[in-house]
Amino acid sequence: MQKAILTLLCCCLITGSLFAQRLVSDAKIVYKIETPPQADPSFEGGTLTQYMKGYLSRVDIDFKTVHYSYLINSRDETVVTLIDNHGDKYLIRAGKEEYNKELKEYSQVQFKDGTETKQIAGYNCKKAVGKMPDGQTFEVYYTTELMPENKQHNRRFVNLKGMPLQFEIINKNGSRMHVVATKVDLYAVPGSYFDTPKSGYKEISREELQKMGS
């Protein structure tokens, strides 16, 4: 009898855990970007918006004078980058080879859970430290209440065991930006959000962009 009761309790706990976790296909997550004190004032008050729809994802990064969009297709293994800098608009395509090269690098990032927890945008989150192949580390808070259906929605977190709601971005000069979720919307995101613009942007290569000093 006692064994039967224990088995029932275990089943209830497991079932409760499964129901507490939601597999997310479509979502919009808005983050605020906290820049370091020495950062250019034009980068203050920035936002990062993550859109997800099945194998499609989009990241919009908005600052006062420049806007970046990354259109990621994990089925076709492609990324389209859109840049609007003071009205000068550029489009850069990355194919399968470059996509898989970057994915391989991100797949080497290992996350180690810490003990700290906090609530972000209404979700319980736990802290983890990510270690990159070059040895650099960064902090992330993630929730296990939401599990992205597409693990490559943000390839930096392909090995993370949940949805990142706060994380650090390390800049080339070593400074760090903190990205914190302020709102999570779970709704059917329109497919048009992930369409590549057919006009209005000048298509260039990454090499051309680097020559321009960006």
As given in the structure block, the two tokens for residue 103 are 């994915």
Write out pLDDT tens, residues 23-56. Answer: 999 999 999 999 877 767 767 789 999 999 999 9
pLDDT tens digits, 149-162: 999 999 899 999 99
Cα 161 to its chain centre, rounded Å, is 13
Q: Strand pairing of 26-34 and 22-24?
A: unpaired
User: Could you report the per-residue pLDDT of 60-84, keeping only the tens digit for each?
Assistant: 999 988 999 999 999 999 999 999 9
Q: Phi, psi (5° rounding) for residue 163?
A: -100, 125
- Asked if residue 121 has pLDDT above 70, the reply is yes
CATH pick for 24-194 out of 2.50.20.30, 3.90.79.10, 1.10.10.10, 3.50.30.30: 2.50.20.30
- Coil vs helix vs strand at 32: strand
pLDDT at 203 over 90: yes
Give the H or E element holding residue 211: helix 206-211
Residue 26 CB neighbours (<10 A): 16
Q: Which residues, listed in sequence order, are joined to residue 27 by a DSSP beta bridge?
A: 52
pLDDT category of residue 147 using cuts at 50, 70 and 90: very high
Q: How many CA atoms lie within 13 A of 149 on its CB side?
A: 15
- Rounded to the nearest 10 degrees, how much is the dihedral formed by the CA atoms of 194, 196, 202, 203? 110
Statement: residue 190 has pLDDT above 60: yes
What is residue 213's predicted lDDT score, i.e. its pLDDT?
64
* pLDDT the model gives residue 18: 42
Average pLDDT, rounded, for the chain:
88
Q: Where are the domains of the chain?
A: 24-194
Q: Is the pLDDT of residue 14 over 50?
A: no
Strand ranges in the chain using DSSP code E only, listed in sequence order: 22-24, 26-34, 47-53, 56-62, 66-73, 78-85, 88-94, 110-120, 123-131, 137-143, 146-148, 163-170, 176-185, 202-203
Asked if residue 191 has pLDDT above 60, the reply is yes
Using a pLDDT cut of 70, give the percent of the chain over it: 88
Specify the pLDDT at position 172: 77
**Share above pLDDT 90 across residues of the chain, in percent, rounded to a whole number:** 71
| Straight-line distance from the first to the last Cα atom of the chain, in angstroms, rounded to the nearest whole number | 70
Question: What is the rounded CA–CA span in Å between residue 67 and residue 102?
Answer: 22
